[in-house]
Structure 1
Amino acid sequence: MDDYAAIDDMDFAPLPDTVERLPVLSLDEAHELLDLLRVVAQEDGLLSARADRLVREISARVPSQG
């Protein structure tokens, strides 16, 4: 199963013609992004709260590593 097979059956909200969707991340890329966001979320800085929120949102959508 390729990375795009799962989205073939999904319905997405319509987008204006000027908006381009980004390609789907691979599972490995999603886990790399989560790892990076977790590091940022643990730091004391302006982006830590945003990174923490994104970690929770993405983690809910990405299967755990096997």
Structure 2
Amino acid sequence: MSRFLVFGRHRLPLSIFLGMCFNLVVAPVVYAATGDDFSRTQVWALGLLGIVTLGVSIYLFFVMFIPEKF
């Protein structure tokens, strides 16, 4: 029970950490696709922007089609 409360209270830092870890996979793909047009900082920002956009899209999809939960 206490383990569940720890994950419940610290959900935002855990989400940010997992997003950054996922960006370690996404950033090299974006960097390879763009070539030398963007710097590594810009690629990291584009990767995070893509992850956030995907997350918000999924959230809004569920809010539109399952509004009773929210």
Query: So what's the TM-score if we normalise by structure 1?
Result: 0.29
Could you say which structure has the higher helix fraction? 2
* TM-score (norm. length: structure 2): 0.28
Larger radius of gyration: 2
